[in-house]
Chains A and B, each alone.
Chain A
Amino acid sequence: MAVQLEFLKSILYFSDLGLAELESIRKLVFEKTADRAEVVLLEGESAANLYFVASGAVKVFKTSAEGKEQILDIVRPGESFNDVPIFDGGPNPASARTMGPVLLYGIKKNDMEAILRDHPQIALNVIKVLAKRVRHLVSLVEDLSFRHVISRVAKILFEHIGGEMGRGPRLTQQEMAAMAGTAREVVGRSLKALEEEGAIKLDRHRIIITDKEALQEIMEVTS
């Protein structure tokens, strides 16, 4: 399947370019397909390619020494990943895994440098993409003052218990994130941490509070 010019035009990097310029870039773009749950980038490895998601979604994440995962971003069609090491020459700062079957458009590091030299007007859009990423990561750093978020999530769970009197309000992770003033990704990790501490059990669409006292103790922790 040929790389679509229309799709290239929809990518912020290339949105200001004309058809002739897009055509010259298209020659440097290669396709890569991957199935569900394939690791397409590994943290710490040298970075060879910049990727754009053409279809599907990719999860960008860091893994701790204990194997805990923190999602940094979910990359959707039209968005890019692995930009930073392509431009600073360092290793991949995070890993990336497909969330389903994906089609990626890749550009080799050297080719991307040539594209920037040949089409310097792209630079402003690259800066916009990187600035957006910095803003997102700064916000995540703020959220990851972690114990504090866990205690806020614990409090939200406690305040929304449904019981014999009827069902409490059902909450999505997005709603919990909005209530806790944090990112959805951080709520997901907080729930897993609460489960590891034995305070709750995740049972499909139910969050079962298995140790009310433990949950209360976590609620009272502030940092």
Chain B
Amino acid sequence: MAEMPIIDTRKCDGCGLCVSVCHCNALEVVNNIITIIETVECDWCTDCEAVCPTGAISCPFEIIIQEL
């Protein structure tokens, strides 16, 4: 299962700005709610997080040390 951006539906106002900037079509408006479509093509560009005017989308990074 691919990690995907996280949407806080309490903050999301369904404006769709994230959908317009997502280049891999991982976001869709369904009944005025932004829905994530799981895809390995999501390259974590974080543009959806950057444009969201209500701070409803987050693209968190896991920080790990490279195993030798």
Given the contacts A184-B50, A205-B44, A100 and B61 also touching, CB distance less than 8 Å: no
> Once the chains bind, are B49 and A172 in contact (CB under 8 Å)?
yes
> Once the chains bind, are A205 and B62 in contact (CB under 8 Å)?
yes
Given the contacts A161-B65, A170-B61, A173-B59, A56 and B21 also touching, CB distance less than 8 Å: yes
Taken residue by residue from 145 to 164, chain A's Cβ proximity to chain B (1 for < 8 Å, 0 otherwise) reads as 00000000000010011110
- Give the distance to chain A from B33, nearest Cβ to Cβ, in Å: 19
Considering only CB atoms, which chain B residue lies closest to A170 in the complex? B60
Residue total for A at the interface (Cβ-Cβ under 8 A): 36
A-contacting residues, B1-55, CB 8 Å = 3, 15, 17, 19-23, 42-44, 46-47, 49-51, 53, 55
Q: Which B residues are CB-close (under 8 A) to A99?
A: 20-21, 47, 51
Q: Which B residues are CB-close (under 8 A) to A174?
A: 49, 55, 58
Which of A76, A160, A204 gathers the greatest number of chain B CB atoms within 10 Å? Answer: A204
Of A18-26, A42-50, A208-216, the one contacting chain B is A208-216
- Give the distance to chain B from A169, nearest Cβ to Cβ, in Å: 8
Of the residues A168, A172, A208, contact of B59 by C-beta under 8 Å: A172
B interface residue numbers (CB < 8 A to A): 3, 15, 17, 19-23, 42-44, 46-47, 49-51, 53, 55, 58-66
A interface residue numbers (CB < 8 A to B): 36, 55-57, 74, 76-77, 99-102, 157, 160-163, 167-168, 170-175, 184, 188, 201-202, 204-210, 212
18 CB-based A-B contacts, threshold 8 Å: A56-B17, A76-B53, A77-B15, A77-B17, A99-B21, A100-B19, A102-B20, A157-B63, A170-B60, A172-B46, A172-B49, A172-B61, A174-B58, A188-B46, A204-B43, A207-B63, A209-B64, A212-B65
